[in-house]
A and B are shown apart, each in its own frame.
Chain A
Amino acid sequence: MPVLPKLAIIFVATLLALTPVSILAGRRGGRYRALPGWIAAWGWFAVLIIVLSRLSRAVSFPLLGVVMFGALKQYFTLTPLRSQDRWATLTAFVSIPLALWPTWAGSFGLLSAATVIGLFLLLPVMLSIGPRQPGLLDSLGRLLLGVLVFVFCAAHFGLMTQLPKGSLELFGIVGVLADFPQRLAGRMRPGGESFGPALGVVAGVALAAGAGALIAPMASHGALHGAIAGGLVGLSIAGGSLVADAVGHDLAQSQSDTTLGRAAFLDRTLPVIYAAPVFYHYLRAISS
C-alpha cells in the first residue's frame, strides 16, 4: 500500500489549518466574507493537484480537461461575446484537447505552437469573419483572455506533472500561503486603499518564499530556488488578482459580486491559474 506522500499531507494540513481561520474571519463580514468561499475553492484545487500529482495521466488528464471545460464555460457565461462569435467560442472549447495533447507529451514547444501560434492567430480571423459589427476588439479581448488563462495557463498544471515529484503540491502550498495574507489585507484597487493591500502582498510573498525554502528540498529542489519560486508565485497571484478585479469591474459587477457572487469564480481561480506558468517555467529552467 503506497504511503501517503509527505508533501500532499503538508498541503492538506495547511488547508485544514486555514479553514477555521477563514470561517471565523468570514463571520466578521466586510471583505472577510469571501474567505470561506475562497478556502472551499482551494479545497477543489487541492483535489485536482493531488490527483494530477499522484494518479496516472490517463486518469488525471481527463479530469484536468473537464475542469478546464467547466472553467471556460463559466468564464464565457460571465463575459459573453457578441452573438456572431459563436464559432470562435466553440473553437476556444475545442482548443482544450488541443492544449492537453502536447501537455501529455510534455512538450512546451508544441503547446506554444498549438495555442500561442495556432489559436491566438486563428481566433482574430474567426472573429473578423461575418458582418462588421461594433465590439470586435472588446470581444477579442474577452476571448483571448479566456483562452490565455483557462486553456494556455491551465494546461501548465498538466506540464507540472513532468517536474520532479512533489512539485505540484509545492505549488499548492506556496500558492495558498501567498494568497491568504493578500486576501486578509484586501485587494489592490485603483483609487482604493494601498498601504494595507501592499503589506498583504509583501507578507504573501515573504510567507510563500519562506515556505518554498523549507519545503522545496522535499520535492528535490534547492531551498533557494524554492524561495524564489514561492516569491514569484506570490507576485503572480497579486497580478492575477488585479486582473480578476479589473475584469469584474469592466463587467459592471459590484464590489461584493466580484468576491461573493458569480464573478467570484474569477477572483478565486484566475490568480492561482495565473501563477502556474511562472512557477513551472522557473522550476523547468533551473532543472535544465
Chain B
Amino acid sequence: MRTLKRWLSLAFFYAFQLGFVRPVLRWYWAARYRRLSSVPKGPCIVVANHNSHLDAPLLMSMFPVGRIANVRPVAAADYFGKTAWRRTIVMIGMNAMGIERTAAPGRDVLQPAVEALEAGQSLIFFPEGSRGTPGVIGPFKPGIGKMVKSVPGVPVLPVFLSGAERSLPRGESVPLPLGLDVIIGKPRSYSPLLEAREIAEMVREDVLALAPPPPVVPGPRPGPPVRVACCGIDRDANHALFSALVLRLGSAGHTVGIGATILESDGQGVRPSDRPPLAGSRLVPKALAWAFRTGGLYTGSKFAEMVERARTDEALQDGRSARFVVSDGSPLVDLLAWGEADFYEGSFDEKGLQQLLLYLSGERRIPLAQWARFVRKAPEVWLLNVFGLAQPPAPDVLVVTTRDAASAMERVRAGGGAIAAWENEPFLARLQDGYKQVAKVLRKRRVEVIELDALDLDVNRAVEEIDAACRRLAVAPVT
C-alpha cells in the first residue's frame, strides 16, 4: 500500500512538473535563466530572495528533468500544511519538505533538511522566511548559516529572482504575464568556523550582488544625488573637509560619505553605515591588481578598495538612498590626475582627457592596439575598462585642495608613516598640476570646481561655500 502511494505521489509530481509547471513557465512567462551552467551537478543548497509563490517552481525548473525528484524546496509547514489543497500541490506536486518556522524547545527543525542533503538531495531555501514586501529583500535568518555549518561540503548556489514580485506578489491571486528572470550565481562554500549569522549575511550579500538595477516605476522619481569629491595632494586637508561635509550636508538631506569607511549622516548626526556592502567580493579585483601590478595610489588591495568604493558610489545613482554623496578622493578625478602626471607625462590635453573619461565611464572600450601601452603604463584604467569592474561617476562639485609640493612632502615626512615610492617632491608637483588640469577641463563640463589653499584652509568657511553649492545643485532641475 505504501509503495503504491509512493508511486502515485511520484506520478503526480512528474505530471504536475512536466505537464503544468514547466510549460506554463516557458510559454506563459517565458522565464529566462542566466548562467544555467553554474548549477552544480551534485547536491547543493539553492538560496534565493523570496517575493512570490512563483519562486520555488522557477528554481525547480533550473534543474534538468532527471534530477527534479531529488530537489526539494523547504516550505513552512504551518502555512502549506494548512489545507489538503496546499498540501497536495506543495508537498506532493512540488516535492517540498515542510519545516516548522518556530522550533519547539530541544528540537532542531533543520534536522530533516540536513539529512536530506546528506542523502544526496538538493534543497531550495528562502532564508527571508516569508514572501515579504515586493521588491524588498529582507534580512536572512541565521537558519541558513546553521545549515551550511552542518553540511560544510555542500555548495551554496546564490540565485536572484526578478519579475516574480510583480507577476504574482503576496496578496494577489491573478498572475500577470510579465517577464521572469532567474539570475544564477557561482556556487560557493563558507567557512564552518564562522557564526551562523555571519554566514547568513554573506549569503545575502552574494544573492544581492546578482540583483539587476530595479526597473523605473511610475511616480515621482528622485534625481541622482549631488556628488562632492575632495581631491588634491594634501590628504589630511581632504579628509578634514570630507568629515566636516558629511556632517554638514546631513542636515540638508540624507548623506552618504565614502571614505575609508562608509558613513551615513542625517539630522541625527554621523554614523557608520549599516547597509550591507554592495560590491560583493574584493577577491577578483585584488587578484587582478596583483597580476597586472597596479601602482601608485592603487597598489594591490588599494585597487580593490577603490573598485568597491566606485561600485558603492554607482549604486547610489538612483537617488533613492542618498541626496548627497561626499567622497574622500574620487577614483575618476584621481585616475585622471594620475594620467596627467604619470601616464601621459605632461602631454595631457583635452583630447587625452576625453579619451580617458570615455574609457573610465565604460562608454568606449580601449582598442586592442592600445592594450599593451595601457597595461604597462596605466593598468588601473585598463582593468576597469576591459573587465568592466566599475564605472566611477563624475562629481558635481569638485573640491581641489592645493599646496606646494615642498610643504606637502614635509607633511608626509612629519606623518611618520612609510613613504611610498611616488611620494617625492617632483612627482607631487606634477600630480598637483594634474589635478589643476583636470579641474580646468571638468569645469568646462559643468562641474562646479572649488579650489582651496590647504596652507590657509579655514574648514568651516570652506564647508559653508561647498554646502551652498551643493544645495543650489540639489534644487536645480535635472536636465
Interface residues of A (CB under 8 A from B): 29, 69-70, 73-74, 76-83, 86, 89-90, 93, 133-136, 138-139, 142, 250-252, 255
Interface residues of B (CB under 8 A from A): 29-30, 134, 163, 166, 169, 172, 174, 176-179, 215-220, 363, 365
- The distance from the CB of B334 to the nearest CB of chain A, in whole angstroms, is 24
Q: A86-B172, A86-B176, A135-B218 are in contact. List 17 more A-B contacts (CB 8 A).
A: A29-B365, A73-B30, A73-B177, A73-B179, A76-B178, A80-B166, A82-B217, A82-B218, A82-B219, A90-B174, A90-B176, A93-B177, A133-B219, A135-B219, A136-B218, A139-B218, A251-B215
- 8 Å CB contact of B219 from A69, A90, A134: A134
- 8 Å CB contact of A252 from B178, B216, B365: B216
Supposing A73-B178, A90-B176, A93-B177 touch, asked if A80 and B219 sit within 8 A by C-beta, the answer is no
Best-buried of A29, A70, A73 by chain B (most CB within 10 Å): A73
Query: Nearest chain-A residue to B219 (Cβ)?
Result: A135
Supposing A83-B134, A83-B169, A135-B220 touch, asked if A69 and B177 sit within 8 A by C-beta, the answer is yes
- 8 Å CB contact of A70 from B30, B166, B216, B219: B30
The answer to whether A86 touches B174 (Cβ under 8 A) is yes
Best-buried of B166, B179, B218 by chain A (most CB within 10 Å): B218
Q: Which residues of A contact B220 (CB under 8 A)?
A: 134-135
- The distance from the CB of A243 to the nearest CB of chain B, in whole angstroms, is 17
Query: Nearest chain-B residue to A70 (Cβ)?
Result: B30
Query: Nearest chain-A residue to B165 (Cβ)?
Result: A83
Best-buried of B134, B166, B363 by chain A (most CB within 10 Å): B166
A-B contacts, 28 listed (Cβ < 8 Å): A29-B365, A69-B177, A73-B29, A73-B30, A73-B177, A73-B178, A74-B179, A76-B178, A77-B163, A77-B178, A79-B215, A80-B178, A80-B215, A82-B219, A86-B174, A86-B176, A89-B176, A90-B174, A93-B177, A133-B219, A135-B218, A135-B219, A135-B220, A138-B219, A139-B218, A250-B216, A251-B215, A252-B216
- 8 Å CB contact of A138 from B134, B215, B218, B365: B218
Q: Which residues of B contact A255 (CB under 8 A)?
A: 363
Q: Which residues of B contact A90 (CB under 8 A)?
A: 174, 176
Q: Which residues of B contact A135 (CB under 8 A)?
A: 217-220
- The distance from the CB of A124 to the nearest CB of chain B, in whole angstroms, is 14
Q: Which residues of A contact B176 (CB under 8 A)?
A: 76, 86, 89-90
The answer to whether A77 touches B169 (Cβ under 8 A) is no
A158 to B223, CA, bound (A): 43
Q: How many A-B residue pairs have CB under 8 A?
A: 54
The answer to whether A77 touches B216 (Cβ under 8 A) is no
- The distance from the CB of B34 to the nearest CB of chain A, in whole angstroms, is 12
A139 to B30, CA, bound (A): 24
The answer to whether A78 touches B219 (Cβ under 8 A) is no
Query: Nearest chain-B residue to A134 (Cβ)?
Result: B219
Q: Which residues of B contact A70 (CB under 8 A)?
A: 30
Supposing A83-B166, A83-B169, A90-B174 touch, asked if A77 and B219 sit within 8 A by C-beta, the answer is no
A133 to B220, CA, bound (A): 10
Q: Which residues of B contact A77 (CB under 8 A)?
A: 163, 178-179
A251 to B134, CA, bound (A): 20
- The distance from the CB of A133 to the nearest CB of chain B, in whole angstroms, is 7
The answer to whether B177 touches A80 (Cβ under 8 A) is no
Best-buried of B163, B169, B179, B365 by chain A (most CB within 10 Å): B179
Query: Nearest chain-A residue to B166 (Cβ)?
Result: A80
- The distance from the CB of B368 to the nearest CB of chain A, in whole angstroms, is 11
Query: Nearest chain-B residue to A77 (Cβ)?
Result: B179
- The distance from the CB of A128 to the nearest CB of chain B, in whole angstroms, is 14
A142 to B218, CA, bound (A): 9
Q: Which residues of A contact B177 (CB under 8 A)?
A: 69, 73, 93
Q: Which residues of B contact A136 (CB under 8 A)?
A: 218
A135 to B218, CA, bound (A): 5
Query: Nearest chain-B residue to A133 (Cβ)?
Result: B219
Best-buried of B134, B176, B179, B217 by chain A (most CB within 10 Å): B176
Q: Which residues of A contact B216 (CB under 8 A)?
A: 250-252
The answer to whether B169 touches A81 (Cβ under 8 A) is no
- 8 Å CB contact of B215 from A78, A83, A86: A78
Supposing A70-B30, A73-B30, A74-B179 touch, asked if A80 and B174 sit within 8 A by C-beta, the answer is no
A255 to B364, CA, bound (A): 12
A85 to B176, CA, bound (A): 11
A180 to B178, CA, bound (A): 31
Q: Which residues of A contact B219 (CB under 8 A)?
A: 82, 133-135, 138
The answer to whether B172 touches A80 (Cβ under 8 A) is no
Q: Which residues of A contact B134 (CB under 8 A)?
A: 83
A97 to B172, CA, bound (A): 24
Supposing A73-B178, A90-B176 touch, asked if A81 and B218 sit within 8 A by C-beta, the answer is yes
A205 to B316, CA, bound (A): 44
Q: Which residues of B contact A138 (CB under 8 A)?
A: 218-219
A79 to B179, CA, bound (A): 11
Query: Nearest chain-A residue to B179 (Cβ)?
Result: A77
Best-buried of B174, B178, B363 by chain A (most CB within 10 Å): B178
A242 to B163, CA, bound (A): 28
A136 to B220, CA, bound (A): 10
Q: Which residues of B contact A251 (CB under 8 A)?
A: 215-216
The 5 A-B pairs at the shortest CB distance, nearest first, are namely: A135-B219, A77-B179, A135-B218, A138-B218, A139-B218
Q: Which residues of B contact A250 (CB under 8 A)?
A: 216
A27 to B142, CA, bound (A): 49
A251 to B217, CA, bound (A): 8
- The distance from the CB of A34 to the nearest CB of chain B, in whole angstroms, is 15
Q: Which residues of B contact A142 (CB under 8 A)?
A: 218
Q: Which residues of B contact A78 (CB under 8 A)?
A: 179, 215
A79 to B220, CA, bound (A): 15
- The distance from the CB of A93 to the nearest CB of chain B, in whole angstroms, is 6
Q: Which residues of A contact B363 (CB under 8 A)?
A: 255
Query: Nearest chain-B residue to A78 (Cβ)?
Result: B215
Q: Which residues of B contact A133 (CB under 8 A)?
A: 219
- The distance from the CB of A90 to the nearest CB of chain B, in whole angstroms, is 6
Q: Which residues of B contact A252 (CB under 8 A)?
A: 216
Q: Which residues of A contact B163 (CB under 8 A)?
A: 77
A90 to B168, CA, bound (A): 12
Q: Which residues of A contact B179 (CB under 8 A)?
A: 73-74, 77-78
Query: Nearest chain-A residue to B134 (Cβ)?
Result: A83
- The distance from the CB of B203 to the nearest CB of chain A, in whole angstroms, is 27
- The distance from the CB of B216 to the nearest CB of chain A, in whole angstroms, is 5
Q: Which residues of A contact B29 (CB under 8 A)?
A: 73
Q: Which residues of A contact B166 (CB under 8 A)?
A: 80, 83
Q: Which residues of A contact B217 (CB under 8 A)?
A: 80-82, 135
- The distance from the CB of A127 to the nearest CB of chain B, in whole angstroms, is 10
A87 to B474, CA, bound (A): 37
A113 to B192, CA, bound (A): 67
A227 to B220, CA, bound (A): 46
- The distance from the CB of A96 to the nearest CB of chain B, in whole angstroms, is 11
